[in-house]
């Protein structure tokens, strides 16, 4: 199965977005001072564990989706290079070579 260029780039962007969003979320969760993530003794609460698992699963899915997008972009470039070999001069002036 081949992915189109827009789909490949979308999946790659989604993967990068997931890394940014979920790493930021876990960093903010870890620094939470509202009492939701940690109790008075400083121990993690159920809220912390549920959201940490959510973030890890989302991070892993985003990584897999980003890798699929990266592989799609790479395959498109490889196909484009096979059709148009490097070193071909397209500005030679036409069939006469002038």
**Local confidence pLDDT in tens for the 98 residues of the chain:** 788 999 999 999 999 999 999 999 999 999 988 889 999 998 999 999 999 999 999 999 999 999 999 999 999 888 777 776 555 555 555 555 55
Determine the pLDDT at residue 80: 76
Interatomic CA distance for residues 17 and 24, integer angstroms: 11
Determine the pLDDT at residue 84: 64
Determine the pLDDT at residue 93: 56
Determine the pLDDT at residue 97: 54
Determine the pLDDT at residue 79: 78
Question: Which residue in this structure is represented by tokens 């620094």?
Answer: 31
pTM: 0.71
Specify the 3-state DSSP secondary structure of 36.
Answer: coil
Interatomic CA distance for residues 11 and 9, integer angstroms: 5
């Amino acid at each position: 199965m081949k992915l189109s260029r827009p789909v490949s780039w979308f999946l790659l962007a989604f993967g990068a977005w997931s890394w940014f969003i979920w790493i930021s979320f876990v960093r903010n969760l870890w620094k939470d001072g509202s009492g939701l993530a940690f109790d008075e003794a400083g121990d993690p609460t159920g809220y912390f564990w549920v959201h940490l698992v959510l973030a890890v699963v989302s991070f892993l899915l985003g990584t897999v989706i980003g890798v699929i997008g990266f592989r799609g972009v790479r395959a498109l470039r490889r196909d484009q290079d096979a059709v148009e070999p490097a070193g071909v001069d397209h500005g030679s002036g036409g069939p006469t070579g002038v």
